[in-house]
Structure 1
Amino acid sequence: MSRPFKVLQLQPDYNVKSHDFADLAEQIVKALPADRYEVTAAFLRGRPGPADPVSRAATSVYFDFSDKSLKGLRLRAMWRLYQFCRKEKFDVVICNRFKPVNMMLQLNRWLKVPLCIGISHGFGEYDRLYRRKQAQRLIDEHWRFVGVSPAVKQYLLDCRCGFTDANTYAITNAIDIEQAEGLQHSRERSRELLGIDPSVRLIGALGRLVPVKGHTYLLQAFAALKDKYPQVQLAIIGAGREESNLSTQVQQLGLGGRVHLLGFKENALQYVRAFDIWTMPSLAEGLGLALLEGMSGRLPVIASSVPAMLPLIEGAGGLAVEPANVPALVQALDTYLGLSNEDLAAKGEQAYRYLQEQHDIEVFRQEYLDLIDSGLSQARGKDV
């Protein structure tokens, strides 16, 4: 029997989660049968502590590069990665996000790994002219590219720098719905753990507290409706540099006691059923896994009509809102808050059915397996 194909999955940072329902790098590992593929997970920065989880890959490698060593020409980091790949003789290298893609584009001129796959998780990676010129020069027959949504694929194609319909694919992000549901507490228990009144209607959001997530607009929209709906509250799970600004805004808008900035929560998905309405007012998203997480909790969704999310919102029967458009967000919230509990729950069930039909993790895994099987077959001129 021939040896298994050797696969390297290269990531910028160590970020393995104890629950991998939305850890798509780990889902790719799960997609590859161990009798045919031997997977190594490698991380450019960081390493796990004694109690932290590790990848389910057969081998994990932590380069532990400093931030400084990964900037500029990165000569030392490039040399170490080159030596490692040359020694291991990988058949496939899967690169998550721009930095690993960029490094392997340069190194594979000499390594000649038969199949390299670059995964783009969002927009803007190739906005700079020199990056497009570099990609145009280095993309060759060894490379395939994946956008995590049709919109990200289209972004790559529109860059016109070597990404083509022949080498670029859309494999839409997914979550392990069964695992996600298994983590979720009941509505009552979630609210008890979060310290939220079980009798109120609760608008929810989950995400880093950074400007691109658009939480400031959500606060403004909620403030416009606070008197019309005195039994409604808003809760945001997440931490980030905007926390103090948002706290100040809560007080300025007279929302004290009505808005809960809950901070970072480990495995935040476990609290999703505390909410009655799921919101994502982002200014930009590659896909927005949090949108799928809300659907897994059978919640109706309100989200920004950015290209990557619009088809998901429409498919789920949710309400799409122009980014940063506070009056439109007010209208969307008003529409859902005006529904009966039964009608609101029915909208949530519609979102859940869409998630099951269109974002099944088994489909995600199969598409990656097919891409790797076919790519190796083409690269080696024989069936895998």
Structure 2
Amino acid sequence: MDSAQSGKAQGAVVGVVRETNDGERRVALVPKVVGKLAGKGVQVVVEAGAGAGALIPDDAYVEAGAQIGDPWSADVVAKVAAPDAGELARMRPEQTLIGFLNPRGNADGIKEIAAAGVQAFAVEAIPRISRAQAMDALSSQGNVSGYKAVIVAASESTRFFPMLTTAAGTVKPATVLVLGVGVAGLQALATAKRLGGRPTGYDVRPEVADQVRSVGAQWLDLGIDAAGEGGYARELTEAERDQQQQALEDAIKGFDVVITTALVPGRPAPRLVTAAAVEGMRPGSVIVDLAGETGGNCELTEPGQTVVKHGVTIVSPLNLPATMPEHASELYSRNVQELLELMLDDDARLAPDFSDEILAAACVTRTEEDH
């Protein structure tokens, strides 16, 4: 029975598409969240095979209350990655788009979305305030990246992570340095500790030292303070960069594993690990560079590749969350649900209130009628 026959107001229709980017296995909504949205009156249309990469069959969506069909005609199109030209051509003016749209690094893409008349919300632009924590997709996916980075490092390492005492002798625990102590960095430190390594964290924001210690890691103090706005580090001055580079170069040489997570939104990744630092590390050491998508934190990084330089393995995985699609999708789906519910009125219709600071910040293109 449709909404007209039942006499009830029709709620918003949300479309869940099948991601087409190479290696992207996540899906924007999982069946558990679809069920919750359906319970509020939201209709969900899922593209056939949308959840396949995350091992979610179409039947699971149908059981949760979704329809399998064309998601591109929905009021809201929920994605993970930004739409390519072909996908954007399937959208119509006044539709709403939610996803990782990279507004600071993909200005041309945002202009194309605006030119199509589509209202777009970039999950990266959600402000990092307490009220928006459940919507913070950068943090949820950063947790996945930080965890997996340590697993990758342990797999590539020629040494044990934990201390082992055997009849043949004692093996010292691996020393792990994490550069950049945001969500991914803290998760990396905590995971390295759980694996038995001896973790140390460094960030240009000294106020995060207590967070580093709270997960059982040591703090590397280089005497630099670059705290910025919105929880991000500000760009260092030339003198600060020189000071940091030399101090880090000396420190890095003493670690078995270095994991870098330092990013400045809209700018190339800061270079923290020089070629000289790599050369000074013990052969068999490992660097996992999570900033490869914006150039990398290591001077010798080759984005998307695993290379060996001076006997050191340098891994630069792109889109690590997509390698753990089940849990990454669950977390992202929850973020999308919270953002969607903030846009709905009491009848589950789309009615975003742009006086709300979260929606105002996250919206990167607006339809004319909303101005």
- Structure-1-length-normalised TM-score: 0.36
Q: Which has the higher contact order (CA 8 A, sep 6+)?
A: 2
Higher helix share: 1
- Structure-2-length-normalised TM-score: 0.37
